[in-house]
Every structure is written in structure tokens, then in C-alpha cells.
Structure 1
């Protein structure tokens, strides 16, 4: 073979091989896209490692309950009440500046409870009965000093940027355990302090956004999924109409495989159709016993509203909803625990939530669900040990308390500490990123590996920080 003939043959082989490689790549890509289009993105997925919990119920106390008036007992505050002490400011107008502030003692007495001896104030007599179930974190720290940024950080791991909410990350990582209900539900969310961003999917596929039931200010008895039932058309006709509509949608999807919104719409239609058959039963509290209503305080005007929300959370947990948010905020969506000039009002809010939360803990334990259901109670930050406007307290992101229960956490355990007056976390500090990482770990997810590629880099709930606090695990 001449050199010229060899070159021509080699060129022909390379050209054919290149086309072949290209065809293989295109075939693989199309197969991948077709598989993604046909696979339900909410299908249950295996955790990264054996989980301790299957689901989360987050009891969000918007506004920042005062830790030094509830769970973080500080005798020094009683001893030095009214004393002027230098504090370094955290707000924009006082940041880094020292000023004299008067210490203010807790307005309620503390007492030890349970075998663990945890101190709880008289604000929470019912929750105090369950301290041996609770895992207290007394050394929380977070980002942002105003409600908006701190609330966003609590839910999304970012103070201002548009990021997916924690519930969206959980359903993205694990899918849904029940194809007939959403994987992520938020009860009576607020339109303020981040609003829908607190349960939004951001850049994750649209199917992972939270489903809102009701809104702040709406009575829980009226908080329902709108248009869930159709009393005008027979079930058979509804099924035929649905099948025809989905056939049209799937035909359109074949021409637009990369349309996330179209895919999410089709999936949401399928979920909505299944919810018509199953959700009304879940949402119907009338099937509960009178004893259950009494336990949750639904027969009492002060506790009825939050009691209904907590009972609904239990029913959603029974239906295997992965992530459930229960929001406590006022009619205008403002944070209820935000007492800058009226700390005595904490008693009103404590009364509203104490019995329902205690009932939820007891109910889940009796049903054997507390073992694999993680309860998370807390606000976006705590409050200062010094007074504001005589009988109020300011925001405090430097040290505060949240508690966890069930789901593989250590019961009757207290972790970390603030200083002697409850101002700053000093021992075993737990940043909000650490709490997020730990909750994901309990669900069987590695927070460093739960990522999503967007805008040229991999994002995660904990950004580039966070550690699992193994001491909190049972």
C-alpha cells in the first residue's frame, strides 16, 4: 500500500469512528433524557447510609423565643438583675460598639424536671413533662440579626440569596415515601420574613417545592388543600379526562425533553389526581377521637389553632410525608415571639403551643412513630439577657436554644452552653449549618454529597460549611 493510499484509508477510518463515537454519545444522551422524563422524580430513593429518621416535623417558632426565659436557666440573671453591663452590639447601628445595658432576669421561675433534671421555666408545664424525650442544644448560633435574613438562613442556609429550602433538599435527596401525597408540606406559612422562599425549590427542579396548606392568620380549621374534591363529575369521567390530558402532555414532552417546568407540571397533575382520592381522608380530623381532641387542646380556644396544626402534622407523618413544617405566626404573618417591649406576652404564646406540642410528642411515642420521626422545635434566633424598652428583649443570634426529639437523637440530653448570663454560646457551639448537617445525617444524607449543579458549581444546603454533631445522636 502506497503512503497516499494509507493516509486516505486512515482518514476514512477516523471519520467513520468519529461519527460512531458521536452516535454513541447522542444515543446515550437521548436515552438518559428519556429515562429522566419517564421516571417519577418523587419516587423514593435509597439514603446514602442507614438513616435514623424517615421524616421531619419542624415546629417553627417565628420571632425568636427567649431561651433565657424558657429552657436556658441562668441563675446569674436573677442575681444581677438591673445591673449595667457592657455589651457589644450586633445590629447595623451598633455593630462592634460597646454600650451599657441593664440585665433583666427571667420573668418566670425555673424548675428541674424528669430523670435528666433539665431546667424548664413555668412557661411550658406540659412540655416539661417530656424533657426525658428531648435533646436540648443550648449553644446555637446563626447568621443575620433581623427576622428576614435569619429566617431565610434557618430555612435555606443563606441570608439573602435565592437557595432551595431544607424541605426541598430532603425531597430531592430522598424522594417521597407515598406517591399519593406531596413529599414536603408547610402548614400555615407566613408571607413575610422570606415568605414562599422558605419552602421554595429555587434552582432545584420545580417538583421539589413545598406544598402550602393554609396561610398565616387563617384558622387551622379552614386550612385545606383547595379544589381537592370534584363533586360535579363522576370518578370514571374524571379518570378518562385525566388520562386524555396526560396523553397530550406526554406527546408535547417528547418535543421538549429539557423543559423542567413542563415535566413538573405533568408530575404535579399526576400527584394532584392521586391526592383527590387520598388527601381528603388525611385532612379530615373529624375521624379522630374526642380524647385526641382533648389531648391536643382543640376544645380550648387558646390552644385550638396550633393544636389542629400539630394533629395535622401527625396525620401527615402517618401518611409518610417526608418534611412537614408547622408555622406559628400571627394574622399578618409577623413573628409572634418578637417581644421587644412586652416580654410578658411570651406567656400567651407559650400557652398556645405548650399543650399541642406535648400532645404531639406523646401521640407519636404511643404510636411507635417517634423512633423514626425527628421533631425539631425552635426559632430563627434567641433573645438578649438585657432589657429593651424596660420589659422587652432584643434579637440574639449569638447564643440560643433549640431542641430535637426522636429520630435517633439522644433523649434527656443537653448539649453546649451559653455564658453565665445567656448572651453568647461558649461551649460546644452549634452553628445553624451544623444543625442542618446533623438533621440530614439523621435522614441518611451526607450534607457534603447532597449537591446540585447550578450556574457552574455544585451547591448544597450547608454551602461550604457545616459538621455533623455526633454527640447529639443516640
Structure 2
């Protein structure tokens, strides 16, 4: 059953349209898409960037990956800083990365690395908000911050959804789940914010690594044959036209958009096929890794091929993770977690995605962003872990609009603070929008019609192709 969330305004007979449609609405079609659909809307906007990227895949490594064991190792630092791992060469003369990313190291000719990203915020949810929106959280260092004003700037994914029209699939999709802190506390910065719920990216909770993976609602129930579906769809459209003169609230506008998208999904075989990972050869699926993150990266590639403009892939929690140190939040046993689990999964899937896009001729038109909410402390703590560190960390970009083989920015000798080329999240968002064809000055409007620039940063010209 699809439940419509609106203000509950009542019809002349005292029944809310929400109640009426809950009884009759999309249930006329025999559909159940509540878990799949989120509100959606589109808006045209002036362009001003390069537009070399048709789409963007944002890989968000929740928890904060360590700069020292990824893109910014410090082999000459003391042991308590450098850690136990060595470095390996890359195609960039003089630039070395951690030995735990051997596949990625070979692909640096496609990748631009930012080694001096900074938020000066050591809280997951508030620093994450800045990374996902390009706006600093007020105040900083606010752990377990909740979504909502005054921190209601829309996410990059939401802005893309607002700027670009969707087709059978919406312009922005997030998989395989939202980002949350212990206790199920949702981070701010993952929705449409002041743009309204219509700008929310579609959030699809899924386990694409499971053998029986499917997204409910992308096919007709067996009891609803195509002819009967067409008849019911026509009836629903007639009902909506009849009720248009009764009430025109924003919430109803969201429902009309959701019902249209639901019908489009069912009519469009291309949309459903994007989720059929079983159509991929076994060697391709194995190349990405038989786990939730790897198969989500593969699904992101398929969604981009199906016309989605931005896919955000969130690193999610796994079974048997250590208490107090889930995902990339390695407060304890940092080296063990990186070597046994985190880095092998990341290196395999990230390199697979870049190679797959390149082989299909899609890398030049697909921007791939590798990022987390912050980095890790320079010094290893007493539990063998690294703690939160927003003063300097690394981000990597590849593909559409990016000049590969570039390393921009420099941290100090212990990867503790920027020394040169410092950038902030708003510059990262400006760069993403630039590559997608939008200048930072492109205007978006809140629900009251007030204009705002999509980013208050500037594109990082040193890495642009």
C-alpha cells in the first residue's frame, strides 16, 4: 500500500483526500511501492560548467577512511603515525599510495587526488552534512545532529534532482540505504532540505549482493495483466483530473508526481532492467566483489546506463563489526580492519567500477567521486585505532570533466593539517556541478521562491580536464 504524506486537508464531505486515496488511489493498480518511491520534482536551470559529465557516481565511505592508509601515506613519519603498511608506486612519477590498494594504484592516470580537504569538524553527522551539501553545519562538531532547520541545505543529489528532469527513473538515487549513526539516527544533509520533499533523492534500501535481489514494485503483480493495468491507470488519471479542482496543495502535487513516476516505472522495461544484476556475467559480478558495497557499485553503473544523473552509494554496516568501530570508523584495530576487510573490498570494487566504465566508453562522461565525511587522526591511539579528524583528509575524483594523473594539495609531515592547496566541501560540490554543466552561481529556489546559488564554492581548476 502506498501511503501519501500530506497536510490532511479535507474534502467537502469531510474525508481527507489522503484517506480517500489510501483506500482507492494507487491500490486500484494492485501496486505496493511505498518502500521504493520518494517525492520527486524537476526544474530547468542555466548552465555554466563544462558539462563533460553526463552523470555522477558518488561513493561515500561512511565513517571516515584514513588518509594515511589510502591516498596520503607518510612513510617517513614515526611508527605511531605511519602505521605498519608500506607504499607502492603509481603511474604518477613520485607519487605513492598505500600498499593496500594495488588495483587502484594502477589507475591513477584516470584519477585526481585532493590531499588537503578540510572541514575542521570531527563529528560524523555535522562534518558529513558539510561534505554532502557543501554548507557547514551550525554549529560544527555536533554529533548526532538531526535533519532540519537551520541545517537544511539540500544535498548535492537533491540539487541535481531539482535541476535535471527525470525519465522512467528519477535523476538522483541513493543506494543501498541512508547514512545513520548508532541508534539509527539519520544524518542531516541527505534530503531536499529547503527545496522541499519533491527534491528528495529516491532512497532504495536494497541488498544487491543477495541471490534473490529484486526491487519490489518494478513489475506488475501476477493478478494484474497488462490490459487490466492500462484500464486501472486510466481510471486513476480520471480520478486525479476530477479532484484537481477541489484541492491543489503542494503535498498533492508530490503525490501526483509519485503516481506518475510509479506508472512510468511499470511501463518502462528499461527501468526494471537496470536492477536485474543477474543479467551481468558472473565474471563481472565477481570483479566488483560479492558483497553489498561491491554489488551496489555495479548497480550504480547500471543505473547510470539507464539514464540516472546521480547515484550515491553509501558504505553500510556489515555483520560482526567491532562495537564502537563500525564501517570506516576505526577507533580500534585500525590496521587489522583495513587489511582484512575494508581495503580489499574498496580496492576491488572501486577499481572494477573505473575499469568497467572505461571499457564501456562511459568513464569520460561519468564523474566518479570517492569521499568520506573526514579522515583519521595522525597518531594511532592505545587501542590500535585512529580517531576522528576533519582538519585534513583526502578525496579522489575520476572520469567526466576531471584531468587524471593529478595530485592537488599537500598535508604536513604527519597528515595532520593542510600545507598547500587547501579545499573545502563547497569547492568539491562546485566542482561536481561544474563537471555536470552548472556554474556555482546557478540559482535554485526554496519553497518560498527565494533564490540561492547551488554552491558557494569554486570549481577546483587544478584538477579539471
Tell me what 1:148 maps to. 125
Tell me the CA shift for residue 391 of structure 1. 1.3
Query: 1:167–1:224: structure 2 CA closer, same or farther, 3 Å change rule?
Result: farther
Tell me what 1:96 maps to. none
Tell me the CA shift for residue 244 of structure 1. 1.5
2:363 partner SS? coil
Query: 1:311–1:421: structure 2 CA closer, same or farther, 3 Å change rule?
Result: same
- For 1:189 and 1:134, how far apart are their aligned partners in 2? 27
2:42 partner SS? coil
Tell me what 1:452 maps to. 445
1:272 aligns with 2:259: no
1:129 aligns with 2:106: yes
2:81 partner SS? coil
Query: 1:355–1:245: structure 2 CA closer, same or farther, 3 Å change rule?
Result: same
Structure 2: runs of 5+ lacking an equivalent = 1-39, 138-144, 146-150
2:274 partner SS? helix
The CA deviation string for residues 32-76 of structure 1, in whole angstroms up to 9 with x for no partner, is xxxxxxxx9437767345412111101110011110111102233
1:251 aligns with 2:242: yes
Among 336, 343, 360, which residue is 2:334 paired with? 343
Query: 1:390–1:319: structure 2 CA closer, same or farther, 3 Å change rule?
Result: same
- For 1:416 and 1:467, how far apart are their aligned partners in 2? 15
1:250 partner SS? helix
Tell me what 1:315 maps to. 302
Greater mean alpha carbon deviation, residues 352-361 or residues 448-457: 448-457
The CA deviation string for residues 336-369 of structure 1, in whole angstroms up to 9 with x for no partner, is 1111121121221111221111111001001111
1:75 partner SS? coil
1:422 aligns with 2:415: yes
TM-score normalized with structure 1 length: 0.79
Contact 2:125 2:187 in 1 (8 A): no
1:138 aligns with 2:115: yes
The CA deviation string for residues 127-177 of structure 1, in whole angstroms up to 9 with x for no partner, is 11211111000010125311111122221234251221110101212223x
- For 1:168 and 1:185, how far apart are their aligned partners in 2? 9
Q: Aligned runs of 1:264-303 on 2, under 5 Å?
A: 264-276=254-266, 277-278=268-269, 279-298=271-290
Query: 1:45–1:226: structure 2 CA closer, same or farther, 3 Å change rule?
Result: farther
Among 344, 347, 360, which residue is 2:353 paired with? 360
1:47 aligns with 2:39: no
Tell me what 1:240 maps to. 231
Deviating above 6 A after TM superposition, structure 1's stretches of 4 or more consecutive aligned residues are 43-46
Tell me what 1:28 maps to. none
The CA deviation string for residues 102-142 of structure 1, in whole angstroms up to 9 with x for no partner, is x4222211011124453111111111121111100001012
Query: 1:450–1:189: structure 2 CA closer, same or farther, 3 Å change rule?
Result: farther
Bigger radius of gyration among the two: 1
Tell me what 1:263 maps to. 253
TM-score normalized with structure 2 length: 0.80
Query: 1:426–1:386: structure 2 CA closer, same or farther, 3 Å change rule?
Result: same
- For 2:377 and 2:349, how far apart are their aligned partners in 1? 27
Tell me what 1:118 maps to. 95
- For 2:212 and 2:382, how far apart are their aligned partners in 1? 37
Contact 2:112 2:463 in 1 (8 A): yes
Query: 1:385–1:115: structure 2 CA closer, same or farther, 3 Å change rule?
Result: closer
Query: 1:231–1:273: structure 2 CA closer, same or farther, 3 Å change rule?
Result: same
